[in-house]
Structures are given as C-alpha cells and as structure tokens.
Chain A
Amino acid sequence: MGYVDVTGVRHTLPDGRVLLDDVNFRIGEGARAALVGENGAGKTTLLRIIAGDLIPEAGSVARTGGLGVMRQFIGSVRDDTNVQRFLVDLSPPAVREAWEAMEAAELALMETDDERGQMTYAHALSHWGDVGGYEAEVTWDTVTVAALGMPYDNCKYRELSTLSGGEQKRLALEALLRGPDEVLLLDEPDNYLDVPGKRWLEERLLDTRKTVLFVSHDRELLARVADRVVTVEGGSAWVHGGGFVSYHEARTARHERLAELRRRWDEEHQRLVDLVRTLQQQAANSPDMANRYHAMQTRLAKFEAAGPPPDRPPEQKVAMRLRGGRTGVRAVIAEQLELTGLMKPFDVEVWYGDRVGVLGANGAGKSHFLRLLAGQHVPHTGDWRLGARVVPGFFAQTHAHPEWQERTPVDLLWHGEPGRPGVDRGRAMAALRRYGIADQGEQQFRTLSGGQQARFQILLLELSGATLLLLDEPTDNLDVLSAESLEEALGAFDGTVLAVTHDRWFARSFDRFLVFGADGQVYESAEPVFDETRVLRAR
C-alpha cells in the first residue's frame, strides 16, 4: 500500500509571486482524495510537485508504493503516439527504461547485425524479463481488451489519435488501475467521458484499493468517490476529512474560523500598540517606567515577528445577474419538428419559467436543436416558433466562436452585437469584475481559460437581456464554485431555460427533460436519462 505525505511545500512563480506556501497534508493508504480549487489556484502545480516533475523550493514530498500519473492532456492526444508507446509511458520507470533499451537494441541490430549488437539485444531482453516486462505485456493485453475490446497484439501499433477522447481516458485508467503502482494521481480523469463512462469510472475508483488523488470538476463524481477533499486556496492547502457532501459546510466553517483568528490577532495587536504608546508617554515623565516601556516594545516586536494567522481566502466573487423578463405563457412551440436526418418528428411545448434539461446521446442533434431555437440556420422540416416577447440568448461550447479568438473581452463588450448594445469601458470593466475576469479584460479571447471563456459568455447573455436561455454544456469548463454560482443565477433568472448537459449534478436543478434517443425518437421524461447510447450513423 502507498501514501503521499506533503510537508511544508513552497512554490514561487517565475514573476516572484508565491503560488503555494507551507502546504501540508497526507493522503493515507487506500484513501480517495479529491483535489479542488479555482482555476489557477495551483492544483496542477501541486500535482506536478507530487509527481516529481517540479522540485519544490522548500519542503518535501514523501511517498511509497510507486506512483502512476494520468495527465490532463490524455484524451486529446493528436500526435503520432501509438497504443504501445502510450502504455509504456504509463508503466513504472524500470519497465519504461528496459523497453527503451530493448527498442534501441532492436534498431541497432536491424542496421548492423554483428555479435556485439546481438549480445546487447540478448541482455536487453533478459533485462526486460527481469523487470517484469513480460508480465506487463500480459497486463496490457487485459487492458486493451477491457478498454478497446481487442487484444494487445492487434492494436499496439494503432495511433492514439484514432481513438476517441473517452477511449484514450479508459485505456489510461485501465492501465493504471491494473498496474503495479499503489498511488495514482489523476488529473481530470472524467474529461471526455460520457455519463455511462463516468459511472464506470466511479465504480472502478470505489473498487480499487490503491491510494488515489484526483482533480475533478464533476460534483457527482466528487460526491460519490472522494472520502476526503484537499482544497487549494489562498496560497495553501487544507484537508476536509469527510466527503464532498459535507464539504461546503466545512469550508464555510473554516473561513469563519480563520476570520475570527485574524480578528483576535488584530485586536491583540492594537492593544499592544496602545500600551506601548501609553508607556512611552509615561517613560518620558518617569524613569521607572522606561524599563517597562522597553519590555513592552520587545513584546510588541516579538508579536509582530510571529506574524498574523493566515488571512481568510478571498471569496471567488462571481455575481451573475441574469434578469430575464415576463414573456408569453408559451415560450417555445414545436410541431412535427424534424432536424433533417437527425431525428423523427416530434412535438414540444415549453412554458414560461420552465427549466428544461436537454439530454441524450452524442450526435443525436441536441446542439442543433438549440441552435435552431437561437435563430441560426439549421435544415429542418415542421414548424417551430417562439412565444411573445421571447428573446433567445445562446451559450455555445467554448470552441464555437472562431471570430472571437483574436479579440479581447473589453473590445467585444464595447462593440456589441445585433441585439446587444455595446457598453462603455467603465461598464464593461465593472461587469467583467463581477464575473471575476477583470484582469483578463485586455487579453485575447483565445488565451482565456475554459472557465473564463464560459463566464464571459454568460456575461454576454446577461447584457443581451435574453428571456430564453439556450445553454450548450455550460458547466463543462467551470470549476465547482463557478458552476454553483451559475446554478444560483439560473435559479433567480426570470424566464425560460433550455440546457444541454452531461453534468448530472447540474441536471438535478431542472424540472423537465427532453431526451434525444439513439433511435431518433425524442421523448419527455420527468427524470434525467443519461444512458442513451451513442448514435450510430453511416459515415
């Protein structure tokens, strides 16, 4: 069994800011710990320090039991890495080195077949056997059968880029969970997985006896799997020993305690300062008091040298104000609507104030449906119309705005769009501040993080005065706190909401569900349905 022990770790950014200071925590044997925090708080840096990629400036990381790391980019591998190379990279260092040596020897032998080459190759082979390479190959076979449904020999030269994001993630997870490493670091293991895939991941993580530290933004996954939560905030980290369900309470309590400690420290500090001043005056008149004055000065200096307790971390201030407005009773009406080639005709009526979750398989036409309602051109037959005073506002997945890439948020706000008046710089900055992206106001849109792009799009919805929100996977890139802020804003929104989502936690806040089935049927459901299989269509 393995554990990770982080003691007094400190890390400074190249520009001199202290990102992490005095980070202490221990992930005991068999624990399943979640690492949460805002984007940019230092989660990935902390993972890199634990993985040994970065040397901390101070402090140390102790760990036993071998470490397996799944990096964030897995799922979006687009280079020419093949399955074999990928599995080798996920193996323990000894296996990796033996494999490199064997590859090098094989290549050398292909070029010059001499006695030296042959002996090197023979040594490499026996070393491969010694480090457990043959056993590893047996494991890889089980892994590829489990993840891709085919034996290792059939797919080892297959390029990783021909696998879907979900398949890449599953391959990595199977390899790590079945591998010999006792401690696993998983950076967003649930990205690119659909809901059945996420459920599978949850079961696997609950089953494993390994020690797991994972980063995730999926609240359902956090709630089901994590038995403790490590939070990176305010330049340090703290551990909540319970699950995610009681996490919010614990976090609020901790913040209050920190604020209380700080208040007491400030009071005590003020008292000492006052005392020093009084004694100073008295010392001027009476030499007897001079000693007491000096003693009190020393005491104050020591008190100040010990420093104040850590500040309460600044609250992430994302205040979304989606106002909306009263519209006709029927907000959306569709009769025998069919998006060409995507589904069978269906009828639907959405009422003012409804919260409708649009669910279903990938490729079933959910996003197209939303785009149609947003007024974009989507080939269809049948009728649809919006009710009186219904103004649609569309939130697309973040990569859907190529025309924004080179522009800055301030610029985009200033110019406005048809249906959204431009605003002056002052108002633009105020709005950006409310969404926690004021510092990025002059950055190009494409350099914003996924979460920042998402928040900016919600801000545009606010400014456009929409009364019907059409949201396509709005929580996908939002960290936990921003997602909650969005939910709150939607709760207070006066109007109608249609949202496509795979986020099970988010889906709970809806009251109706429109499910796009894999067989082309569109039906209503009172409960969320997540296990529609992928649509198979001849390509």
Chain B
Amino acid sequence: MKIKAIKQNGIVQTLCRMCDTRCAINVHLKDGVITDITPFDRHPVNQGRMCPRGSAAIDLFYHPHRILKPLKRQPDGTFSNVSWERALDEIAEKMLGLKDQFGARSIGVWKGEGVGFYQQEGYPRRFIQAFGSPNYFSNDSACYNGRYMGHSLVTGFWNAFPEFSHADLIILLGTNPPICHPPFMREFADGRERGVKLVVIDPRLNPVACYADIFAQPYPGTDGALGWGLIRYLIETKNYDSELVERYSIGFDKIAAYANKFTPEYVEKQSGIYSHVVENIAQLVIKNRPNISIFPGTGLEHHDNGVNSVRTFAILACLCGNIDISCGLFWPEEMGGRQLNLYGEIQLEDQKPIGADKFPALYDIRKECHSMTAMDYMLGNGEYPLKGLILTAANPAVTNPNTRKVEKALSTLDLFVVNDFFLTPTAKLAHYVLPAATFLERSEIHYFPKRQMVNLTQKVLEISGVRDEYSLWHDLAHRLGFGEKYFPWKNEEEVNRWILEPTGISLEKLRRHPEGYVYKAVRYKKHLKKKLPTPSGKIEFASAYLKSLGLSEIPEYVPPHHICQTSTLYPFVLTTGARKSLFYHSRHQNIPRFRNVHPQAVVEMHPQDAADLGISNDDLVRVTSEVGSLDIRAKVRHPSELRPGVIEIYHGWEDWRVNFLTHDDINDPISGFPALKAVQVKVEKIGR
C-alpha cells in the first residue's frame, strides 16, 4: 500500500478513536512510518496517560487484513476488485433505480460506532435526508439512546460524563468504568482520596466493587425498583430539595403517590437487594446530597423497562438537588457551530420513518429509526419495502439482536453497501465493500461537553485508494444530483471551516490547541435563570408528552419479562455485553496480542449452577434461547461475581455470536431497545 504521511519525521498530536473516550495522543513518525503512539501530556481527559488500545492504533492502521480497494461481490459470492469510480457509479445508478421504483424511503443509511459520532454522524444524516429518505439507523439503536432518553425526558438534556472527582457519593449502576471508560478511574481515585463514598449496583461483581462502601447485586433489570425505593425514602423522611421541587418541577405529587408502595421490604422482594441495604444506600444519599454522581451504564438500558429505570434515577438525582452541578446532571452549553443534519430544512416525517410508529419517542427525541424494525421492512413485513442500505463501520450481523434474522434480512437487500476497515461478517453480505479510513486518516471536530471544550483531530497519514467518510458521501451525493446543493465542500477541511464559521473560532486556533479549546467557560445552576429544554421548561417528574403517546406518565416500575414470565424451559437469565478491556464491541478482535488476553468466548457462570449441571471450567456447553443456540466454553466464576441463575457472555465475538440468542422483539416501549441483558436461556453440557 502507498502511504503518505503529513510529515516524514516528528510527532503529530491528535485524539485516539480506538474507543469513544477520545484520549489525546502523540503519533510518532519516522521516515513516514508510525513508530510509536504515546499519551499527550496536556489534555484534561487522559492527563498524560493512555490505555493499550491507544498504542494498538498502529496495528489497526497497518493491519494486513485491511481493505484497501473497493470490492464487488460476484454472482458466485466471491469478491473482486473494482475501481472507486465504477463502484460509486453503479451504487448511484442502483439507488436512483430503487428510488424510481419504490420511492426514496426504500433506501436507508446506517452509521456504526467504528467511525464515531459528531460530524461522522452528521454526514450520513445529511446525505439520506437530501436523498429524500427519513431512514437513518445507527449503533445508537442499542446503546446510549436509552440513557439519553431516560434523562432528557426528565431534564431535557443529558451529559454522559459527570465530574466524579467532585462528588461526595458515587452511585454506579450496571457499569464497569475501569473497563468501559478508563479515564473515570482517575476521577474515582481522586474522589477516594477526598473520602468519597462509592455504591455499586450490578448483577456482576467487578473489581471496582472491591472499593465500594456498598455493593448490591440485584436481579437483572430490577434497578427501577431500587430507584423508587430511594425516592420513597427521601420523600418519606422529607430529605429532598423542596425548593427545586416547588419552583422548578412538575408532577411531584404523582411520583410521591406512586412511590408509596416501594418500602425497603417491597424493594427487596422485587430486586433481591436486602431491605437494610436499601436503607443504607438511602442514608448515604441523604447524607451526601446534592453532591452525588449517579451513573447508569448500558446495564440499565438493555432491558424492556430500561428507559423508565434510567428516568427513575434521573428523578432521584433531581430530588437530591443534583441538577446542573459539576458532579451531577450537568447541563452543557453548545458551541454554536453549524449542524450538518437538515432537520430544520427538510421535513420527512410524512415519509414514515421506520419504527417511528412503534417507538415515536425514539424518532421525536433522537431522530433515529429503529434498526430492529428495519429487518422486518427488509424481509417484506413492513409498511413499505426497504431495498437498499449504505452502512458505514457497523457490524449488525454480530451486534444486533437476533443475528440470524439480521443476516437473512441483509441478504435480501437489492443494494447493500458496506464501508469498513475489514471484511466483517456484515461486510461479507454486501454487494459492494468500500475501504474506510481510520481516525488517523481524518481531520474532524470533537466536543467534550462536560468541559465545554472542542478539539480538532489531525490527519496523520493517507493511504492511496482509501477515501475518508466525507469523500464517500460527497462523491455519492454528486452522482445523485444533490451534491452541489448539500455537499459543496471540496474536502473535510472545508467542512470543518463551515461548521466553525458562526462561532468565530478558526481551524488554525484549534490546531494550536491540541490540549482542547474551551469554547465557553462552564457555568452551573443555569436552570435558575433559564427554562430547561423540556416541553414544560421544568423538571418533568411526570411527562405529559409520554402520556400523549399512551405511555406511562411517570416511570412506573414494571418487572422485566424474565421475572413476569418465568420459564421452566429456559431457567437461566443471560446478560450479554459486560465489556472487555481490550475489545470495543466487535472491534479489535483481530489484533493478535489482544487475543492473548481474550483468546475465545466463554459463558461465565456461578459455581453452584455449574456444579448442578456437571459443568467444569472449559467444558463445552450449549446455551439455547427461544431464538437460537450457541456452543461455547464454560468459565466458572467466583461465587460472589454472579448471582446463581445469571450467566454472562460478551457481545462482540465474531466467532461466537451471542446475538444468535437475543430477541429483537422484546423491546423497551419508549426507546425500542432490545433486552440484551435479560435473555431467558437454558444451559447444557455437550462435551469437554
């Protein structure tokens, strides 16, 4: 491959995108080759430290399996090289044909985590709207949106990263920060030095809980009951921010009435958390409010009651007076740059975005279509056909639920284009596979809302024949006739200038600030002067909006389906997706030294369950759900790590796809999220 570096020798500062934490790194070049990646000292996110994923960007960039030329699938199923021009011409022609025959909405785009967010999300949104289709899908169908919605329904916003080091009490729910968000570790440790208390609520005991003052292990999906128990305790003992409630909220009476039944004993019955532990947590909350960081991870949102569990804790935070402070529900102010999406300009609601009928809040709040429903549309079971899909750096054939159905659905498409670094199981189903650029080959704008900070990443190298995301959407748009109007910029640098223009911040200025540029000094307690971005302008303990959709006005606790409908056939509850420190979802499995640490998939189980089934470590077992089955090696854990009856499998393995087992049709009614952390299964030993 022909590689051109922006400088032959020296160091380039940029941000790492091996995960979405985005630490600042130094890329060292010698004779145009990357020789090392080291942490950049002056960035507040990682403060001169990094994780092994960061240095493995070298392995990603130079990986021998990277796709470097566009591929076209032949009638016999093999791929052969095709020129960029021909590939794009053919794709555009096919798109126009489908548009003529079935309408623009028969084509969608799907943005994956592999390319990132912000403007990488803006391009495909803009592209598909300009094309005339409302169908934008993304990885957010099964991550983030649930928590975003849970918070924004209460406060109108969500900042995912509180400043933990300023808290007096940290409550972690269904998350494992040392593995998922490495920089949080420093904030926890800083907090610990000040004597911060730590409460960890998780069906799984992770090492971080070794430092917890209270560790509680609920049944999966019952966090909402605990949340209500804490709300009741605060209201009952009159230990809440009454001024905030009176002046800045609506619906308090409704939650106060509903919370009544959640006595510590009732919470114990629902969640399995001892009643005295519930009271102890409540006491810690009372003692330390308002300086509390409540952080729900994906563990909460991957349930059929996910959004309401998150809402319950958002309400708890508000009752603590936790709103718009650094360690709590901080309300970030925007930079004021231009948005790439066209929602202000082109209205496509009448085109029936896929899933907006079933999950209207998802489309209203996130302008996202529902990726699981998309499979039904592809298979001809939708209101109209979905015939074409352009997917960039996503791997739904591994990470979306009911993967066999996903494979079948994607295989029926008339046009399936995948833009990615590698020939993933998803890319293997495509008609055209295009080589994607890694973060080292792009220059883009990143935001850090918690610090109200902006960064410009640097393009370090380029590989001839590999185009960046912008070029892909630009070139296709020009072939489809809306390039002049909507993709007029020659390259990413011009886009970046256009985004920044109204802010008065220049690209040159951002280049001079690899440590990040604070676009606006952080201010707190803005809700005292300014209406919150909710429909009522206040904190919404009860949501009239949800009521208008026929959903519960307050986040009523509904036990998850595995508790409501216990099954003798499938007695175990499978949680999926406890993170691995070196992988990122389905990414990085092909980095050899990472496989030293995580060589193969395992199903983790309690020693008692294993003994009952005659299973010992490394035995081959078959895990079966109503949807499918998976053969996998067993790993018997320490008895305190999992509750008996609960098993765990990682979600990103290409060779052991746990999503063969997961349901695509058991969804949260608000976000449409799949219940990835509560799958009813049976386990049997099949060999050694």
Q: Do A and B come from one complex?
A: no
